[in-house]
Each structure stands twice: as C-alpha cells, then as structure tokens.
Amino acid sequence: MKVGVGGTFNVLHRGHHALLEKAMEIGDQVVIGITSDRFGSEGREKLLPLEQRKAELEAYLNERGGNWVITVIEDAYGGTADRTDIGALVVSPETRPQAEKINKERASRGLAPLLLVPVPHVLAEDGVPISSTRILSGDMDRDGRMLRPIRVMVGSDNPVKVNAVLSVMSKIFSSLEVGCTEVETSISEQPFGERTRQGAVERAKAALSTADFGVGLEAGVFELPDGLYDIQYCAIIDKCGHVTIGHGSGFKYPSEVARRVREGYSVGQAFEDIYGEEDVGRREGAIGYLTNGLMDRTSLSEQAVLAALVPRIQPELYQ
C-alpha cells in the first residue's frame, strides 16, 4: 500500500521522526508532501527555505532507507483529494482535521476514503508537544530537551511539600526551578476519602499559572474495614491541561486519633490534643512520630510525587 504523510518540516524533530517511521512501517512506498515556501509561510513567523527543509528531510530518509518520494505541496489537500494510488494518510493530532476534510472532498468526487493512521504527539520535557516553533525560539532541542530550567509551582507553602517536590523532580530534570504559592481549594482542613484526590488536583491547577508544571499534594484519611488510614495524593498538571495523579503508601492511625478525627478534629489537632505534638504536619508528620523517626513526612510525600510522575517518565507507554 502506498502511504502519504505531509508537513512543513520546518525543523526536523523527534515528532516528525515518529510520523515518518509509522508511514515506513505500514507502507510499501511513502509519499511525503513538504509545503512550498508560499504555502508553508502562512501563519508562521519564521520559515526555513524549502531547499534547506527538503535537504534535511532527504538526509534523514536516506539514512533511514526504504521506498519513498518527496513532493512539494501548494495547498492543504496536497493532491490527495483526487489521487487513487494512495491508500492511507499518517496524521498527527494537528493534521487529522484536514485529513478528514480531504476524505469528505474525496467522497464528493466519488472516491474511496483514505485510511487515517494517527500518531500521537511526541512530548518535550515540559509535557508540551515538540514543535519547530519552540525549537527555533530556543526553548528546546530537536529531541524535546528543554534549553532552560523546568519551572514548577507547588500549591502550598508547606516546606515539607516543597522539599519533596524539589527532591524528586531534581532527579528527573537536569535544570529545575521550584516555587510555591498558597492556594485556596474547596476542600476542608481535614479531607476524607476521594476529596483528598480532588484537593490535590485543585491545588495543582491553582498553582500552575505560567509554570511548566503545577503540583498539588493533599493528605487525607480513608475509612477502611480495619480502621482509619492516612494516604497522600499528588497531582501534576502541565500547560496542556494534562493531569497525572499518584499516591504514597498508606498507614493506619491509632484508635484514639481515629476517634477524634471522626468527631471533627484534624489529624494535626488530634495529635496535639493526645500527644502534645504541635504543628506535626509541617515537621516530621504523623508518620515520623508513629515510626519513631524511621520515616518522615517528606519521604512519604516523595512517594506520592514520584507516583504522579510515573506516566511522565515514559509518556509513550501511556498514550
């Protein structure tokens, strides 16, 4: 089957590679449409000359091998509205709407629709799709590695939470800036059950602003068959609005703490009332007191942050 794929290929990057690789995988021959300078310049501030774009594309394809041909296209249809030798188009999320228009035009001409083969975005380190525009602006390289620090905002001024985020994310991103801001949520001082997860999401969304990632951490209590458990959730949102969520390990509260929490105390208030531990939530946490320091709240929070990052470490496995 002959397969088509098209684009401007302004700066050839890893997202383009994914499209071309898919086309080579499913097609006996691949027809690659590259926009002319006139057509490609529409809606773009900067466009590299056709000769330069085409030469880079050819160099990559020659290295890749396979049966391919490059054609210059002058409009959004790229000649596919009436071609009968192409059976499929490989499309990105951006090009799929136009491919669907091509199929409508083909139907109006009595031609069979083209099979549309989608390829998901290839994401940069900041969770946003790699693009030629961002590469040309100096924001990232062609593989999606950011050429500036990743900016993170935590939806709390609690140093335990901020330090947990910094500790985990600094292991993933080579250059990182972490800030914090106190935010308002619809969640009560002592979250119960699924409201805990909701609180983490609300904190992340409220913190994002102009950062690359907003992070929300929320610890809550969960009523399980054998007692009241503490589980901390983390939510991470990026500029595309994609939210990933994880939680740390849970532990059971002593019966007297559980009784007071059920009566309306917060965990912090219960610990202060029973054990004389003030402001436990901003220090080692309940887990630190209950384990005689074998684990502190920062470590527990780090578990939740890492769990929320799991789908972002190898995003292609989750698309």
- Tokens 């549309």 belong to 116
- Compute the half-sphere exposure of residue 200: CA atoms within 13 Å on the CB side of its CA: 28
Question: Cα(154)–Cα(132) distance, rounded to whole angstroms?
Answer: 30
Characterize 61-83 residue by residue with b for buried, 16 or more Cβ atoms within 10 angstroms of its Cβ, and e for exposed: beeeeeebeeeebeebbbbbbeb
Closest alpha carbon to 234 in 127, 312, 148: 312
H or E stretch at 185:
none
pLDDT given for residue 278 in this prediction: 64
pLDDT tens across the length of the chain (319 residues): 999 999 999 999 999 999 999 999 999 999 999 999 999 998 888 999 999 999 999 999 999 999 999 999 999 898 899 999 999 999 999 999 999 999 999 999 999 999 999 999 999 999 999 999 999 999 999 999 999 999 999 999 999 999 999 999 999 999 999 999 999 999 998 999 999 999 999 999 999 999 999 999 999 999 999 999 999 999 999 999 999 999 999 999 999 999 999 999 888 888 888 887 666 555 677 888 899 989 998 999 999 999 999 999 998 888 7
For residue 57, the 8-state DSSP code is: H
Q: What is the identity of the amino acid at 305?
A: V
Q: Which domains does the chain have, with CATH numbers?
A: 2-136 (3.40.50.620), 150-317 (3.90.950.10)
pLDDT of residue 198: 97
Query: Distance (Å, rounded) from C-alpha 142 to C-alpha 164?
Result: 31
Q: Do 180 and 159 meet the contact criterion of CB atoms below 8 Å apart?
A: no
CB 193 within 8 A of CB 170: no
| DSSP classification of residue 111 | P
> How would you classify residue 149: left for phi > 0, otherwise alpha for psi between -120 and 50, otherwise beta?
beta
Structure tokens at 213: 């990632």
Cβ distance 265 to 190 under 8 Å?
A: yes
Sequence-ordered list of residues with C-beta below 8 angstroms from that of 86, at least 6 positions apart, any chain: 2, 3, 4, 31, 80, 114
